[in-house]
Amino acid sequence: MLRYWTAGESHGPALTALVDGFPAGLTVDYDAINSELKRRQGGYGRGGRQRIETDTVTFLSGLWQNTTLGSPLTLQVINRDAKLERLEDVERPRPGHADLPGAIKHLGGVRAVLERASARETAARVAVGGLARQLLAAFSIEVGGWVTELGGVALGDREGSLPELRQLRDTSEIYSLHPERDGEVTTLIDRVGKEGDTLGGVVEVRVEGLPIGLGTHTQWDRKLDGQLAQAVMAVQAIKGVEIGMGFETARRRGSEVHDPIHYAKAERTGPMLGFVRPTNNAGGLEAGMTNGQPLVVRAAMKPISTLRKPLDSVNLRTKQAEAAAYERSDVCAVSACSVIIENVVAFTVAAALVDKFGGDSLEEMQARWKLYQDLAASR
């Protein structure tokens, strides 16, 4: 079983992740992980913290000569703004943040909660995803993510191969597939920021090259759609997750939703084993299993809850009405969110790959992948 946990506070010495069950034999490309970390720090609307940090990954365990050993990996991202010991507590909880429920739950202060609840923690998750996608790449599985909506401005999708779409996205300041509309959105972010407010949006992640049969229909907690929903929903500020046509399926008839099955003999050696589908409303998942089509996951991010023009709150000590606390923050982190969702989806898919093909070594996984493809094609 491939799994991970993270540890670390936003202004503590470092964020770490412990990855367990990663196969032996993968030579790690540090630059590829660091480039995901850098992208996570970017996007229009970020606050002052990103000018302080330069996130890079260090491995503290699990590698020998840059190659995975099959033993637990420890990944570390240093916090330059490691000022936790000097920071004061917060008395006026921010609506929408972990402040109020966390302080009551732990019978303590707000600082103790917000430091861990902070989205800074996602740097560790991106580092782990940056590693996981290297395992996926060894099976020619590719991942890409972008912003499809920001602050109510619908930007939408685009046709094209994943490398083309990623290249296009990288020319956009807000990581969308419509860089020609960046100006419209950055003007909106500037205006809302000046008004002391924040903006959310929708991000989309696509995974291509998946075989039929990752995940399972047999048990609820191993259904891949359920695992993806959990991983994505567990990212800070996410309020909704969709797979494929998602909520829109509820408004349509069955005949307009389900993807017909055709057979094309010429494609029988491809990933679909000849069972081609003219549409992909299922978003690559049927009954908790991949069906050979591209996986499509979307997530809705709420606006950041730290507002420069704060909402009503209550002083936890005096119980008097006061405005919520404001600390340096972002106006909009939807672009960063697209990087985070891309990487948590990559990890979840990599875990399903390890589940199907075994986790001891990359070499064994690749042999079992080939055996499975041959057996499935011979049916």
Nearest to 131, CA basis, from 177, 210, 50, 77: 77
Burial 231-259 (b: 16+ CB within 10 A, else e): bbeebbbbeebbbbbeeebeeeeeeebbb
Kindly state whether residue 198 participates in binding ligand EPS, applying the rule CB under 6 A. no
Distance of closest approach, residue 123 Cβ to ligand EPS, in angstroms:
6
Dist CA 72 CA 304 (whole Å): 34
Distance of closest approach, residue 80 Cβ to ligand EPS, in angstroms:
10
Kindly state whether residue 39 participates in binding ligand EPS, applying the rule CB under 6 A. no
Kindly state whether residue 83 participates in binding ligand EPS, applying the rule CB under 6 A. no
Q: Stretches 118-126, 190-198, 205-213, 252-260: which one binds ligand EPS (CB under 6 A)?
A: 118-126
CA distances from 265 to 147, 164, 218, 272, 371 (A): 37, 29, 30, 11, 21
Dist CA 335 CA 170 (whole Å): 11
Interface pick for ligand EPS out of 19, 37, 77, 123 (rule CB under 6 A): 123
Interface pick for ligand EPS out of 49, 206, 223, 277 (rule CB under 6 A): 49
Q: What angle do CA 220, 221, 225 make, to 5 degrees?
A: 80
Kindly state whether residue 344 participates in binding ligand EPS, applying the rule CB under 6 A. no
3 state SS for 106-142: CCCCCHHHHHHHCHHHHHHHHHHHHHHHHHHHCCCCE
Kindly state whether residue 92 participates in binding ligand EPS, applying the rule CB under 6 A. no
C-alpha torsion sign, points 80, 84, 86, 88: positive
Tokens in use for 105? 């739950």
Give the residue with the Cβ less far from ligand EPS, 120 or 223. Answer: 120
Scan residues 301-340 and list those touching ligand EPS (CB under 6 A).
306, 327-330
Kindly state whether residue 125 participates in binding ligand EPS, applying the rule CB under 6 A. no
Kindly state whether residue 19 participates in binding ligand EPS, applying the rule CB under 6 A. no
Nearest to 279, CA basis, from 255, 260, 295: 260
Dist CA 286 CA 291 (whole Å): 6
Give the residue with the Cβ less far from ligand EPS, 47 or 213. Answer: 47
Interface pick for ligand EPS out of 6, 16, 118, 291 (rule CB under 6 A): 118
Distance of closest approach, residue 14 Cβ to ligand EPS, in angstroms:
13
Distance of closest approach, residue 40 Cβ to ligand EPS, in angstroms:
7
Q: Stretches 114-122, 128-136, 222-230, 275-283: which one binds ligand EPS (CB under 6 A)?
A: 114-122
Kindly state whether residue 165 participates in binding ligand EPS, applying the rule CB under 6 A. no
DSSP state of 24: B
- For binding to ligand EPS (CB under 6 A), which residues are involved? 10, 47, 49, 81, 114, 118-120, 123, 306, 327-330
